[in-house]
Structure 1
């Protein structure tokens, strides 16, 4: 396949040409829904001026704290669950960024907010159609790493058997459980041909990354390379 955009993209980066960067088709395959929205868009929708972030965050936890205290909690207090502008804003941003492939990550709570899986699917399909109909839409279902896995299995069967979700992820921290505890969950995902992903190696080791891949048969890992160094 001929690469039509890399040269233009690199030149736009070098020249700080934001408009060209926005116009070039691209992929977003790791979008935590609710965090992928622009503050400017959200501010206009909610008629509210949000506090500006500090010049430098105090690490990842500092960034998370700022988001929770200034964005998430305000939206939760002023939105109903089913009209959460943070979620809608992710689709608006997919349109603005001219995404050709879009994989927003949902949680079980996101589904439950709509009363049924059908209502959930209908709503987010409508956002996809409204904002970014040309993007390949690959919804992901993510689970909290510290959750009780056994209690999630029945619903996981329902959700993945629907065919709506194209990948699974486990996130929200490492080291809460041995990787083997997640095997029943990933077996369900595998049964329905779902891409198997996991956040691993952000605070753990390269050996733990290898263990996760081998234990769960992962297709991809989400790792920021913070601690994934093998000691010689």
Structure 2
């Protein structure tokens, strides 16, 4: 625990908060860059979501209207901007990667990986980078496997994530991919319980043998599921502003991270898509403190939760 970090929160000093080690373990590729950086690279006006949405479809429509489909040639700049954002916010750990589908853009797993390595070296060489492979629920399993295998052969990536519409296809469909990733030494995570219910969180953890859950906030609706997560040391990587702006929670003051923390579930605080939501990790800590959701000592514990596996 760090009393100076706690003092920075109590003083509501954002710049001081930025000086302390933090992690961002839940964000999505180049969308982890700051909004103004993305706008400059794309030649658009800066945009941050300023109204609450109610569905993934609305979110995708907003992103398309404001970001479009970026020219693949801009990907190096966008990823470098994401790493640079991490450095500016004082992150000591940054988990970021790309969807395995990116192999269709850059030609090979080596090309995708080298793009990410260069972006890290240019944008945040002193920040610990946790390379992540991502998968999209809407893709066919056979396609994902074909794209994934060349990445696994590199023995470079450390985690696997699954995102997209939670209801696109049954979670059981992804078991072979997760077994393959486990056999290759990857830490396993998936987006669950953002739109689904508490039972879907437990089912995904059991079926896919997850180490972590992205979001997972629906677990707060079930004491039994919360106990299960706490007993099995399953970490939930939570994105408060994203949950608020996508209408998954009513207010930050009533965010279920409070209930999860009290039940002993390991939780961390993350950004999701900073390019869209405009809140850094330091902002997220300060926002929860100012809302009275967690106090400075509790937030310090949450900060430490993100600094180790």
TM-score w.r.t. the length of structure 2 is: 0.65
- The verdict on how the C-alpha distance between 1:88 and 1:212 changes in structure 2, with shifts beyond 3 A counting, is same
* Structure-2 residue corresponding to 1:131: 123
Residues 38-97 of structure 1 deviation map (CA, whole Å, 9 limit, x = unaligned): 12223444554334542x323464555433311x21x62xxx313234332211101111
Paired residue for 1:182, among 174, 177, 197?
A: 174
Paired residues for 1:67-216 under 5 Å: 67-70=63-66, 72-73=67-68, 76=70, 80-84=71-75, 85-216=77-208
Distance in 2, matches of 1:223 and 1:66, equals 21
Superposed CA RMSD: 2.3
Paired residue for 2:52, among 44, 47, 57?
A: 57
- The verdict on how the C-alpha distance between 1:178 and 1:59 changes in structure 2, with shifts beyond 3 A counting, is closer
Say if 2:48 is the partner of 1:33. no
Distance in 2, matches of 1:50 and 1:204, equals 32
Structure 1 residue matching 2:38: 3-state secondary structure: helix
Paired residue for 1:13, among 1, 9, 15?
A: 9
Structure 2 residue matching 1:209: 3-state secondary structure: helix
> Quick one: higher RCO (CA 8 Å, sep 6+), 1 or 2?
2
Structure 1 residues 176-185 or 56-65, which shifts more?
56-65
Distance in 1, matches of 2:202 and 2:47, equals 41
Distance in 2, matches of 1:42 and 1:176, equals 29
Say if 2:19 is the partner of 1:23. yes
Residue 108 of structure 1 deviates from its aligned partner by 2.1
8 Å Cα contact 1:143/1:169 also seen in 2: yes
- The verdict on how the C-alpha distance between 1:14 and 1:60 changes in structure 2, with shifts beyond 3 A counting, is farther
Distance in 2, matches of 1:190 and 1:119, equals 24
Structure 1 residue matching 2:174: 3-state secondary structure: helix
- The verdict on how the C-alpha distance between 1:46 and 1:176 changes in structure 2, with shifts beyond 3 A counting, is closer
Structure 1 residues 148-157 or 196-205, which shifts more?
148-157
Structure 2: which 5+ residue stretches go unaligned? 225-309
Residue 229 of structure 1 deviates from its aligned partner by 1.9
Structure 1 residue matching 2:166: 3-state secondary structure: coil
Distance in 2, matches of 1:51 and 1:198, equals 28
Distance in 2, matches of 1:222 and 1:129, equals 27
- The verdict on how the C-alpha distance between 1:16 and 1:156 changes in structure 2, with shifts beyond 3 A counting, is same
* Structure-1 residue corresponding to 2:264: none
Structure 2 residue matching 1:196: 3-state secondary structure: strand
Paired residue for 2:209, among 201, 205, 217?
A: 217
8 Å Cα contact 1:205/1:228 also seen in 2: no
Distance in 2, matches of 1:211 and 1:227, equals 11
Distance in 2, matches of 1:66 and 1:175, equals 20
